Structure 1
Amino acid sequence: MSDTPTAPVIPRHAIAGGLILAALMLQILGFASLSPAPHLVGYGLWLATALLWVDIPARTRRQAGALVVIGLGLLVIAALRYGAAIDWPAILDGNTHVVAMLVGVSFIGLIGRDQGHKRPPGQAVMGSRGLAGTWLGVHLLGAILNLSTVFMVGDRLARRAPLTTPQLLGLNRGLSSAALWSPFFASMGVVMTLAPDMRYTGVLAFGLPLALASGLLTTLELSQRFDLTDTAGFSLSPASLLMPAGLAGLVMLFHYGLTPSLSIVAIITFLLPGVALASNLPAGPRWTLQRVHRHTLTRLPAMRGEISLFLCAGLLTRGLSTCIAAATGSEWTLFAEFGAWEAVVSFLAIVASAVAGLHPIIGVSVLASVLDLEASRHTLFACVALAAWAVGTSVGPLSGINLSLQGRYGVSGTLMMRENLRYALIMAALAVAALLTMEVRST
């Protein structure tokens, strides 16, 4: 049985799939400074999105279209009203690195199948124990592999049946809570840039207890709200952990040994397709090319929902951050001093903005731009940013995890926000208490 197409492929789907694959290859070449021209990755992905636009579900299309209109409008306002210098050729670059990673992660589907035959899903762990396994598996592995873990675990669970709300919430909370402490998350990378004098030990002491609380809260709350009897969870058995743990080990090898200058996101982008190709090569080059060809014609165009949302959200982020920076300038300071209560107000404001649809990176970046922080306050700022990121991405409809779940599994972003509101309120209260306690201990 070959992995060649069995049904006619729509020509524009084939072209779009080729553009997405080309964008991935250009992104990988860019890691070695071999990209032939800047912005080609963004142009290729946006052109593919345009070709696939009519196939995107109407709800997703409306949301993506609104993001584009608002983002472009804010850029125009920044240019015309505030005289901001806009790099117009680069406005389509937002989130392209994340989209390239998602495309690279999609090649996981080519790993471990015996010439096109799907392996049975095997025995699953059911009930609250299974839900706890889902949270813990995504949390621990996601701390290294980031968003790719959600797809590995989610796709494994989806082999049995379409994912249920408790399963989706377990995936969401398992990953988002890892932002509280993981040194490999984008959140930590942003925070290290904005607060270079932070103490990681202080962040770890703040974030790990909150992450544990997230796991306990998820298991207890969802066990009370839903009947989990028939809800399958992720097994933490060695067989289930073999592939993700092996990939995590490879990521660590590249990050600390072979390519220390590259981010985790960049390493995942080229490593997962490479592992997929290597796993197929023993069956022969022809078989490997057939599988990549099939993947390009079918799976990559099917990613249109998540690709469009990430690209359009990136344009919104660029427009909003540019407009805010142009409007506020660099002279104004939000607080004369940054203490416990200022930290609490800042945390709550960023979470509220995430509920309103803004990614926490916007709130964190804006906050950093209007503060004049002493070095001794960097750790407190880092804790505010990481806690707001963890809580905000769990509940925010435009966060990376919720955009991915929406694009991959068809769940409504509004549903995820509504189902996570109680969780977000409790986690926010715990974070506020932790911030106040942390500041008391430092005085």
Structure 2
Amino acid sequence: MATPDTLSTSFRHALAGTLILLGLALQILSLAKLAPYPPLVGYSLWLATLLLWRDIPRRTRWQAGALAAIGLGLLSLASWRYAADIAWPAITSGNTYVVAMLVGVSFIGLIGNRSGSKRALGRPITGLRGTSGTWLGVHLLGTILNLSTVFMIGDRLARRGPLTTPQLLALNRGLSSAALWSPFFASMGVVMTLAPAMDYSRILVVGLPLALLSGLLSTLELSRRFDLSEVAGFSLSPGSLLMPVSMAVLVMLFHFQLTPELGIVSIITFLLPAVALATNLPAGPRWTLRRVRQHTLTRLPAMRGEIALFLSAGLLTLGLSTLVSAATGSEWTLFVHFGPVQAVMSFLAIVASAVAGLHPIIGVSVLASMLDLSGNESTLFAFTGLASWAVGTSVGPLSGINLSLQGRYGVSGYRMMRHNLVYAAAMTTLVVAAILLTGT
């Protein structure tokens, strides 16, 4: 017989799952310019987080609470000390577009396998070949599908058991290194906005080889530090690539033909749930509704850790960027000339701030606000920002990839940071050499 506490917990989870689904629906409506009030997305997601707060693992709860408290404190300081104009009703909107994408990606679990049974897994690819396959699969598909690729491949690997450290590091580094050159990555969108005069062809000539060196460095370092003989990797066979490649083709179709005004993250947000519904509807509307209901009541509340961390990190980012902008103003420039030496200094500072817990987007945005770029300086700045993003997100405990791995697979972001320090140091050496060679 169900106890009152059990009924209360079930009701909270059901309400929270419904609010998370509502947040996704409102975000999709906002993409179509049909949202009644855009901040409602943040209100729904934050309310769901508060309902699930007691169920979030203690470490994650403390971390998310600290991020949110610091963000509110910084906003209050900017308003009180510098009279910053803050849109208080919209402060809950930070990172809601990323959270909506994560919720949309969760619907991958409804694609195929209608009986709910586990298919035979077969013999895994292990060793150096398997680990390099994981890195390469995440990297190639991640250049288009971004963070969703980590869940596609990570969940596939997790079917054999909890992910091991080498698997998690391969997922982390495979995705983060795509920031060095992918024209569809979030990092590229940011630097293109901040430095519209950049020359992408020069970025590609340097960034792509650097990304391949990252893959080589990762596989060799992981094989030296860990016994990979029993570590399962991602197979690049046609069968394993069918679903992610199909999704990548659909994303490109929408990006270039059907909805060119939308970014990749926005397209993924509505496309994956739509595909999930389309693949279930042939079994009947009642079957589809039942699966969506089950997903809403079980899977969505289970995302509480990911959602809490991303929302809290978004509040921190908003608070810090608002305070920095209010404190520095727009009259002062950091460097009179932005050359290789200044680029190296900026890169090191942004990576160091990522290790301290700040997302590289903060450092890149703050740097751009303090520069007056001209000519070739725009391309050098863009490469500096992309490299900072690639290295900083791999090692930063509060980066999107590490927050996702923590929320999805239970690995601490600070543990990932410790395991990536040597890798980050090696990549820093390569990036500094690339800046000095190409920036002259």
**How does the TM-score come out when normalised to structure 2?**
0.98
- What is the SS of the residue equivalent to 1:274? helix
Cα shift at 1:118: 2.0
Cα shift at 1:124: 1.6
Aligned to 2:345: 345
- What is the SS of the residue equivalent to 2:21? helix
Instruction: Say whether residues 1:163 and 2:163 are aligned partners.
Output: yes
Instruction: Say whether residues 1:134 and 2:124 are aligned partners.
Output: no
Check whether the contact 2:99–2:311 (CA below 8 A) recurs between aligned residues.
yes
Instruction: Say whether residues 1:63 and 2:63 are aligned partners.
Output: yes
Aligned to 2:427: 427
Check whether the contact 1:306–1:404 (CA below 8 A) recurs between aligned residues.
yes
Unaligned runs of at least 5 residues, structure 2: 1-5
Residues 178-220 of structure 1: CA distance to partner in whole angstroms, max 9, x if unpaired?
Answer: 0000011110000000000000000101100110011000100
Residues 278-333 of structure 1: CA distance to partner in whole angstroms, max 9, x if unpaired?
Answer: 11111111111000000000000000000000000000000000000011111111
- What is the SS of the residue equivalent to 2:168? helix
Aligned to 1:332: 332
Letter in 1 for 2:83: G
Matches for 1:107-186 after TM superposition, within 5 Å: 107-186=107-186
How many residue pairs end up in the alignment? 434
Matches for 1:83-122 after TM superposition, within 5 Å: 83-122=83-122
Matches for 1:410-425 after TM superposition, within 5 Å: 410-425=410-425
Identity of aligned residues (%): 74
Aligned counterparts of 2:197 and 2:62: Cα–Cα separation in 1 = 42
List structure 1 segments (4+ residues) > 3 angstroms apart after TM superposition: none
Residues 70-118 of structure 1: CA distance to partner in whole angstroms, max 9, x if unpaired?
Answer: 0000001000001111110010000000000000000000112132212
Residues 203-254 of structure 1: CA distance to partner in whole angstroms, max 9, x if unpaired?
Answer: 1011001100110001000000000111000000000000000000000000
Aligned counterparts of 2:38 and 2:101: Cα–Cα separation in 1 = 18
Aligned to 2:13: 13
Residues 25-54 of structure 1: CA distance to partner in whole angstroms, max 9, x if unpaired?
Answer: 011011111111120000000000000000
Aligned to 1:216: 216
Aligned to 2:41: 41
Aligned counterparts of 1:394 and 1:121: Cα–Cα separation in 2 = 30
Residues 356-389 of structure 1: CA distance to partner in whole angstroms, max 9, x if unpaired?
Answer: 0000000000000001111321100000000000
Aligned counterparts of 2:270 and 2:114: Cα–Cα separation in 1 = 23
Letter in 2 for 1:275: V
Cα shift at 1:342: 0.2
Aligned counterparts of 1:238 and 1:424: Cα–Cα separation in 2 = 33
Unaligned runs of at least 5 residues, structure 1: 1-6
Residues 258-277 of structure 1: CA distance to partner in whole angstroms, max 9, x if unpaired?
Answer: 00000000000000000001
Aligned counterparts of 2:76 and 2:357: Cα–Cα separation in 1 = 21
Aligned counterparts of 1:149 and 1:137: Cα–Cα separation in 2 = 9
Check whether the contact 1:121–1:156 (CA below 8 A) recurs between aligned residues.
no
- What is the SS of the residue equivalent to 1:398? coil
Check whether the contact 1:127–1:231 (CA below 8 A) recurs between aligned residues.
yes
Cα shift at 1:439: 1.6
- What is the SS of the residue equivalent to 1:375? coil
Check whether the contact 2:147–2:401 (CA below 8 A) recurs between aligned residues.
yes
Aligned to 2:3: none
Cα shift at 1:123: 2.6
Aligned to 2:262: 262
- What is the SS of the residue equivalent to 1:92? helix
Aligned to 1:4: none
Check whether the contact 1:179–1:188 (CA below 8 A) recurs between aligned residues.
yes
Aligned counterparts of 1:72 and 1:420: Cα–Cα separation in 2 = 30
Aligned to 1:296: 296
Aligned counterparts of 1:118 and 1:271: Cα–Cα separation in 2 = 25
Aligned counterparts of 1:277 and 1:124: Cα–Cα separation in 2 = 30
Aligned counterparts of 2:121 and 2:179: Cα–Cα separation in 1 = 30
Aligned to 1:53: 53
Aligned to 2:307: 307
Letter in 1 for 2:405: L
Aligned to 2:379: 379
Check whether the contact 2:114–2:280 (CA below 8 A) recurs between aligned residues.
no
Check whether the contact 2:341–2:436 (CA below 8 A) recurs between aligned residues.
yes
Check whether the contact 1:397–1:413 (CA below 8 A) recurs between aligned residues.
yes
- What is the SS of the residue equivalent to 2:372? coil
Letter in 2 for 1:146: N
Aligned counterparts of 1:55 and 1:185: Cα–Cα separation in 2 = 33
CA root-mean-square deviation: 0.9
Aligned counterparts of 2:45 and 2:250: Cα–Cα separation in 1 = 28
Aligned counterparts of 2:241 and 2:123: Cα–Cα separation in 1 = 14
